Amino acid sequence: MTRAVDPKFSPKVLLASDLAEGDVVFLGADGWERGLSRAKIAYDAAEAAALDAAGKAAVASNRVVDAYLVDVFVDAAGAPTPLHFREKFRAAGPSVRRDLGKQAWLQGAGNR
Amino acid sequence: MALVSDGAFIADEWRRLADEESLPGAGKVIVSLGRLPAALEDARLTALGVYVANTTDPKALAPHFSRLALIDIAFPAFTDGRGFSLARLLRREGFVGELRASGRLTPDQYLHAIGGGFDTIEIPDELAAHHGEANWAKARQARSLSYQRGVAGGASILERRRKGVA
Amino acid sequence: MTAHDPALPPRPNSAPTIYAYDEYDRAFVRERVAEFRGQVERRLAGALTEEEFRPFRLMNGLYLQLHAYMLRVAIPYGSLTSRQMRQLAYIADKWDKGYGHFTTRQNLQYNWPKLVDVPDILEALADVDMHAIQTSGNCIRNVTADHFAGVAADELEDPRPTAEFLRQWSSAHAEFSFLPRKFKIAVSGAEHDRAAIKIHDIGLRIVKNAEGEIGYEVIVGGGLGRTPFVGKLLREFLPRAQLLAYLEAILRVYNRFGRRDNKYKARIKILVHETGLDEIRAQVEAEFAAMDRAPFAYDAQELERVVAAFAPPAYEALPAHSDGFEKAKAENAEFAAFAAVNVAPHKVPGYAIVTVSLKPIGGIPGDATSAQMRALADATDTYGFGELRVSHEQNIILPHVKRDDLFALWRDLSAAGLATANAGLISDIISCPGLDYCSLATARSIPIAQAISERFADLERQRLIGKLGIKISGCINACGHHHVGAIGILGLEKKGVESYQITLGGDPTLSASIGELLGPGVSAEEVPDVIESLVQFYLAERRDGEAFIDTWRRLGHKRFKESARREGEDGSGI
C-alpha cells in the first residue's frame, strides 16, 4: 500500500474545521472527510503544496475554516496517525470522554 | 472608495490630497495633519478637512474646529477601536462638522460608529462590493434599543425607563 | 415565547429573587439574537469572511475549538433560577451532547453546538432571559460577583445590583467593543473576597466610608495569563453614584492607550504596570473630570428597581438551631461530613448555604449532565426558593436552604450523584478544559485533575488535609487560575510531550499572591506523586489549624522546594 517515500519528507494530511458544523474534517480524494483514515496523504513537497492550495481554496470558498497541514506517521497498511498529540486528539475526540467525538463515531459506525 | 452615509452609498464630494499634491484653488479637500497648518493659511480653501491617525490628541485639533468641515479618522484595522473613543472626544471638544471613519469597517460596526458620533464611513471599493449598500442599510436598523445614549434611537434604555416612570 | 420554552414546573416557594428582565432588556437581547442570526447567515453565504466574522461570533460567545464550536453562555453574577437551569439542560439535550461545563467565570460552556444551530440556541436562552453576549471577545466580559451574594453572613451589601448595572452599561457598548484585549470586572460586597477581585482587570469592593456612605474600592490591573499581576488600588472610595462614569473613564483611557502591538501586552495590567499607577490614576481622574456625566447620572429610582429585584425570599422565622439537622448528623456520618464541608453559615437564622460540588472523585471538574442540571433545579424548587448560584470554583450553590431540610436535600443530591463532600478540599480542583477541548491549550488539564482526585479519593483524608486549592491551566492564558492556586499546575508542551509546571503559594482572595515555581516541569504521570509529597511535607510541618497556604507562608517557599528536591533524588524527577 505504501509508496516509495522520500525519507527526508514527513508525510502530511490536510486538516480543517467544517464551517457550518465545526467538525474536524480531512481532505480526501473525493472532498472533505470526517475520518482521518480517508484523508489523502502527501508524500512529497509537491503533493503537500497541492493539499495546501486546496485548503486555501476551500477556506476562500467558505467551506472550511483554519485549514493546515499535519505531519503524520503512515503505518504498513497505509493508515495515517498524526505525529503531534494535539492533532491526535483532533482526529479522535476528547481523551476524557471516549464516548464522544470521532472516536465514538468511528466505533459506532464501524467506519474505518 | 465608497462612502456610506445614512445607510446608503453616496458620492464623495471630498478629495483626499496626497502630501506631494499641491493645494488646489477650490473644492473640498482633506489634508494630512502635518499639512494642516499650511492649509489653514490658504485663504482660497473654503472647505477643509483633515485626515488623522486614531492616536491624535483631540485637544490639538480643537483650536481649528471653526475652520474644519471634516475630520477623517483612520481605522488601521477594523478591530482597532481607538477611533471610536477619538470620535467621542472630538464631539465632546465641540466639533460639529462631518466625522468620517476610514478603513475596512464592516456593516456590523455601523452602530458602533454612529454611537461614537461618526457621520460617514469610507471603505475600499472591493470591501463595498463585498458588503453592499443593503447590508449597511440593514445594519443601521439592527438595534432599536441601547443601554448607551445616542447609539440607537437617541435615548438610552435607562433614559426610556425614567420617562416611563415619570 | 417560542416553541423552545419548556413547560413551567410548579414553584412551591416564592417569586424569583434575582433580576428579571423588563420589556427593554428582553427586546434588547432579542435584537442581538436577530443581529447575530443575520451575521451567521452572511457567514454561511460567504458574505462575511472568517476574519470579519470572528470578532462578532466571539462577542456572542461562540468559539471554534479543537473538535467543534463552543458556545459560552453568561450566567451574570452567577445567579440563575431553576427555570433557567432547566432551559440549560434542555439546550444541552436538544443541540449539544447532554451536558455542559461550568467555567471559572460564572459561565456555562456547550462543547458541541453547530454554527447553524447557534441562533436557535440563543433564541432559546432569550426565552428565559439569558444570553451569551460578551462572554468572549475584546470587550467588557460577563460581570462576575460573589456566589454567596445576598446570603453571606459577612456581607455589607449584595453586589448583584451593582453587577446588574454593569451588565447593562457594558452590553453592546458602542465605544468599548473593540478594546485592545478582553476586560473582566468582578464585584464583591463582603468582608471575605469570594469573587477573586484582585485578579480582575477591575475589581470592585463595596465599602462604607467614615460618613457611613456606601461606595466602592476600585482595584485595577489585576490578571493572570503570561504576566500575572495582583490588582492595585486605584481609588479608595468611589461614591456609589459615580460608578458608571468612573468606569467609563477607566475604559476610555484603556481603549486609547492600551497596547495593541502585542496581544500578550494588551491587557490593562500591562498599561498600568508600564505607565505607572499614579499616572494612570491622573489620566482617569482627568477624563472623569472632563466627561459629560449626565448619561450616567445617579438614579435612585432605578437603583431601587434593581435592588428590589434581588429582594430576599420569604424566609420563615426559625430558630438558629435545628434538632432534625443535629440528629441526622449524629446518625449519619456521611451526611455529617457533607454538613461539615459543603454547608456554610447563612445570614438568616435557621438557614444555610449549600455548595453542590461538581467535582466527583475522578470526574471532570465543572461538568454537569442535563439530568444533573434538572436535579439541581428540582432540588432548589423543593428546598431553596428556586434559586441557584454558580461559583468561580466551578460548583453550584443553593443559597437558601432551611437547616431542617439539609438532610432531605442531601439525600436527593446523593441520588443524583451530586453529594461529594469536598467543597474547598484538595479534590475540589479548578481546571480549565485544556487540550481535551480548547484550541489554545498546550497540554491537557482534566486528566491531571482526575488523577489527583483519585489519588486523594479518601474523603476522610481530604478533611484531615483541610482547605487546599489546586488549580490547573492547560496553557499560559491561565483560565484555570493556576497562578493563584495554593498549588498551581500549568500544562505546557516540552519536546513534543505534555509537561507540567507546579507553583506554590498562590491566593485569589484579598491577601492575593502569585504562586512561585517549584522547579522544572514534570510528566503527567508524576504530578500526583509530587502533590502527595508536598502534602506530606505540609502535614508533617503544619501547626494547629494551619491551612496549606499558611504553612507555606510561615516556612517559606525554599523549605517546600527543598522538600520536593529531596523527593526528587529518589527519581521522581522534579
Instruction: Give the model's confidence band at C12: pLDDT under 50 very low, under 70 low, under 90 confident, else very high.
Output: very low
pLDDT of residue C567: 53
Handedness of CA C392, C395, C398, C403 (dihedral sign): negative
Boundary (domain end) residue, out of C349, C381, C415: C415
- Closest CA in chain A for residue C451: A96
Can you give the pTM of this predicted structure? 0.95
**Nearest by CB: C31 against B135, B145, B158:** B145
Question: Cα separation of C569 and C571, whole Å?
Answer: 5
C139: in domain: no
Nearest Cα of chain C lies from the Cα of A47 at a distance, in angstroms, of 25
Q: What are the residues whose beta carbons fall under 8 Å from the beta carbon of C19, sequence distance 6 or more? A: C79, C160, C161, C164, C306, C309, C310
Same domain, C170 and C225: yes
Q: What average pLDDT does this structure show over C405-426?
A: 98
Same domain, C204 and C332: no
Instruction: Give the model's confidence band at B131: pLDDT under 50 very low, under 70 low, under 90 confident, else very high.
Output: very high
- Which chain C residues touch B101 with a CB distance below 8 Å? none
Same domain, C175 and C295: yes
Angle at CA of residue C338, ends C333 and C340, nearest 5°? 90
3-state SS class at C570: helix
Interchain pair C436, A97: CB under 8 A: yes
DSSP annotation of B121: E
Instruction: Give the model's confidence band at C299: pLDDT under 50 very low, under 70 low, under 90 confident, else very high.
Output: confident
- Residue A66 pLDDT exceeds 50: yes
3-state SS class at C204: strand
Task: Kindly report, residue by residue over B77-98, the tens digit of the pLDDT.
Answer: 999 999 999 999 999 999 999 9
- Which chain B residues touch C48 with a CB distance below 8 Å? 106
Q: What is the ipTM of this complex?
A: 0.96
What is the tally of structural domains in chain C? 4
CB contact at 8 A, C313 and C13: yes
Instruction: Give the model's confidence band at A5: pLDDT under 50 very low, under 70 low, under 90 confident, else very high.
Output: low
What is the tally of structural domains in chain A? 1
Nearest Cα of chain B lies from the Cα of C24 at a distance, in angstroms, of 7
A80: in domain: yes
Interchain pair C112, A65: CB under 8 A: no
Question: Cα separation of B45 and C70, whole Å?
Answer: 56
Q: Domain coordinates of chain B in residue numbers?
A: 2-165
Interchain pair A20, C50: CB under 8 A: no
- Closest CA in chain C for residue A59: C50
Range of the domain at C360: 323-415
A1: in domain: no
Task: Kindly report, residue by residue over B9-24, the tens digit of the pLDDT.
Answer: 999 999 999 988 888 8
Range of the domain at A90: 12-109
pLDDT of residue A4: 58
A5: in domain: no
Name subunits touching A (3+ CB pairs < 8 A).
C
Same domain, C163 and C113: no
- Which chain C residues touch B150 with a CB distance below 8 Å? 174
pLDDT of residue C13: 46
- Residue B166 pLDDT exceeds 80: no
Interchain pair B115, C291: CB under 8 A: no
Is A108 touching C (CB cutoff 8 A)?
no
CATH value at residue C473: 3.30.413.10
Average pLDDT, chain C: 94
pLDDT of residue C4: 41
- Which chain B residues touch C292 with a CB distance below 8 Å? 92
Same domain, C166 and C114: no
DSSP annotation of C198: G
Interchain pair C301, B162: CB under 8 A: yes
Task: Kindly report, residue by residue over C326-368, the tens digit of the pLDDT.
Answer: 999 999 999 999 999 999 999 999 999 999 999 999 999 999 9
- Residue C511 pLDDT exceeds 70: yes
C530: in domain: yes
- Residue C10 pLDDT exceeds 50: no
Percent of chain C's residues with pLDDT above 70: 95
**Nearest by CB: C174 against B115, B138, B145:** B115
Interchain pair C292, B92: CB under 8 A: yes
Boundary (domain end) residue, out of C279, C309, C339: C309
pLDDT of residue C564: 80
Alpha helices by DSSP H, listed for A1-112, are 45-60, 85-92, 102-109
C429: in domain: no
C10: in domain: no
Interchain pair C436, A95: CB under 8 A: yes
Same domain, C370 and C510: no
Same domain, C304 and C342: no
Same domain, C279 and C353: no
Long-range pairs, C39-48, Cβ under 8 A, ≥24:
C39/B108, C40/C115, C40/C116, C40/C118, C40/C119, C42/B135, C43/A19, C43/A62, C43/C115, C44/A19, C44/A20, C44/A62, C44/C115, C44/C116, C45/A62, C46/A61, C46/A62, C47/B130, C47/B131, C47/B135, C48/B106
Pairing status of strand A24-28 against strand A31-33? antiparallel
A61: in domain: yes
Interchain pair B161, C178: CB under 8 A: no
Between positions 58 and 117 of C, the ones with CB within 8 A of A are 64-69, 97, 111-116
- Residue C170 pLDDT exceeds 70: yes
Same domain, C387 and C447: no
Nearest Cα of chain C lies from the Cα of A44 at a distance, in angstroms, of 23
A50: in domain: yes
- Residue C550 pLDDT exceeds 70: yes
Mutation target for B interface from C251, C255, C261: give the one with most B CBs within 10 A: C255
The set of cell numbers assigned to C407 is: 438532610
Boundary (domain end) residue, out of C108, C126, C144: C126
Is C56 touching B (CB cutoff 8 A)?
yes
| CB-CB neighbours of C420 under 10 Å | 24
Is B78 touching C (CB cutoff 8 A)?
yes
